[in-house]
Chain A
Amino acid sequence: QVQLQESGPGLLKPSETLSLTCTVSGGSLSRSYWSWIRQPPGKGLEWIGYIYYTGGASYNPSLKSRVTISVDTSKNQFSLKLPSVTAADTAVYYCARASYYDSSGYSFDCWGQGTLVTVSS
């Protein structure tokens, strides 16, 4: 059974770079998209972007200028970088697998537990 686990700093100062890694265990990165999704306190979920195991990525247009998602198949990991963070980037960050389901596009069928990242001076 595939499991995902986020890791990275939980507290950042404004203007620092948010760097998170998601480690995938129990399966490979092949034939799926690997996603980052976040949820600010008291608000809804926001899709940040995803990357295919071969390296092609798509991003939320509202974050595209700031976000980089990368994949390391040798370590079974994928990562998120978000520079110049502000308080508005405070959120629980989830990594998730997006799998293709029989002509129904991609759905997020496996999620990490989430990690809270707080941006505060």
Chain B
Amino acid sequence: QSALTQPASVSGSPGQSITISCTGSSSDVGNYNLVSWYQQHPGKAPKLMIYGGSKRPSGVSDRFSGSKSGNTASLTISGLQAEDEADYFCCSYAGASGYVFAAGTKVTVL
């Protein structure tokens, strides 16, 4: 069982917006503004999409945005495109426990 919880799957039509939640606890997500999000296409290495809860690395589309409320972080993909179909997983710094991950969410573009 992963330390962080995400829905197993989320789907949307092209052009729509979807939001993926990442629920942790006061020991990780709730205590640190250090959530990162990763995109992984099948057979490929994960790619950093969001760091520090809401910041995008250079080169990542502004259609991807992150936020946090309490113990739950969220990743929103706006203007959904076929290329966004992938697995997405969140990660949080957790102090003495290091880093904790979620199992991931499969995003399907209908």
Task: Give bound CA distance, A107 to B4, whole Å.
Answer: 16
Task: Give bound CA distance, A102 to B55, whole Å.
Answer: 10
Instruction: Report yes or no: A61 in contact with B34, Cβ–Cβ below 8 A.
Output: no
Residues on B with C-beta less than 8 A from A43 are 2, 103
Contact check: which of A59, A105, A114 meets B93 at CB < 8 Å? A105
Decide yes or no: A104 and B52 within 8 Å by CB, A44-B101, A61-B96 being known contacts: yes
B2 nearest in chain A by CB position: A44
Total contacts A-B at CB 8 Å: 75
Query: Could you tell me how many residues of chain B have their Cβ less than 8 Å away from some Cβ of chain A?
Result: 30
B94 nearest in chain A by CB position: A47
Task: Give bound CA distance, A59 to B63, whole Å.
Answer: 35
Instruction: Report yes or no: B98 in contact with A59, Cβ–Cβ below 8 A.
Output: yes
> Chain A interface (Cβ within 8 Å of chain B)?
4, 37, 43-47, 49, 58-61, 94, 96, 101-109, 111-114
> Chain B interface (Cβ within 8 Å of chain A)?
2, 4, 32-34, 36, 38, 43-48, 51-53, 55, 57, 89, 91, 93, 96-104
Which A-B residue pairs are the 4 nearest by beta carbons? A104-B52, A44-B103, A44-B2, A45-B101
